Amino acid sequence: MTEKEQATAILEALNSALSPAVAYEYDKVPGSYGNNGSRPAKYVLVDISRRYVEKRLSSGEVSVSGGRLGVRYVAKSTNDARNMRTLATAALEDKILVAAGGEVGPFVFESAEAIVPDDGYQSGADVFTF
């Protein structure tokens, strides 16, 4: 699965779990990063990157394509952000997403950030590895 396919699968899963709130990549949020429109009252930010995974064999080269997924919940009210956290966690944690290109997951909880005031919004984050 390419990174693009992974991102598409993750965004789709989040969008169907969070509807009507939308999950965006950082550059796609309306009203920020020079995009048209105004910033939504609640939305989710997603970032994906590959991470180093130790090889388990002492001989031979083993390449593991593990990744890290950051999900940031942004809302005008703490409650909305919390609800989005609950829905997103239910959709992702320990789940394997199946898409056209293959499978991605399971998403294992790594760390979290409390929901705190952030530039006029309330936001907190979860980090998963997969």
Partner 1 sequence: MASIRVMHGIGDLADDLDAIRLRARGDMRAVVRDGVKVGNTVAKDLARESSGKHAKKYPRSFTTSMNAGLGLFGNTISGEYGPVPGDQGSLAGILENGSVNNPPHRNLARSADLIGPSFAQEVSRLPSKWFW
Residues that bind partner 1 in the complex, under the rule CB under 8 A: 26, 32, 45, 47, 49, 51-54, 68, 70, 72, 74, 110-111, 113, 118-119, 121, 123, 125, 127
Taking the least distance from each CB to partner 1, the nearer of 30 and 99 is 30
Give Cα 121 distance to the centre of its chain. 18
Taking the least distance from each CB to partner 1, the nearer of 8 and 129 is 129
Taking the least distance from each CB to partner 1, the nearer of 48 and 104 is 48
Q: Which residues pair with 19 in a beta bridge?
A: none
Taking the least distance from each CB to partner 1, the nearer of 100 and 114 is 114
- CA–CA separation, 43 and 39 (whole Å): 9
Is the bond preceding 30 in cis, omega lying within 30 degrees of 0? no
Minimum Å distance from CB 90 to partner 1? 21
Measured CA to CA in angstroms, residue 40 lies from 7, 22, 23, 106 at distances of 21, 9, 11, 29
* Strands (DSSP E) found in the chain: 22-25, 42-50, 67-75, 97-99, 102-104, 108-118, 121-129
Taking the least distance from each CB to partner 1, the nearer of 55 and 98 is 55
Minimum Å distance from CB 98 to partner 1? 26
Minimum Å distance from CB 84 to partner 1? 14
Q: Which residue bears the tokens 């907190």?
A: 124
Minimum Å distance from CB 46 to partner 1? 10
Minimum Å distance from CB 56 to partner 1? 9
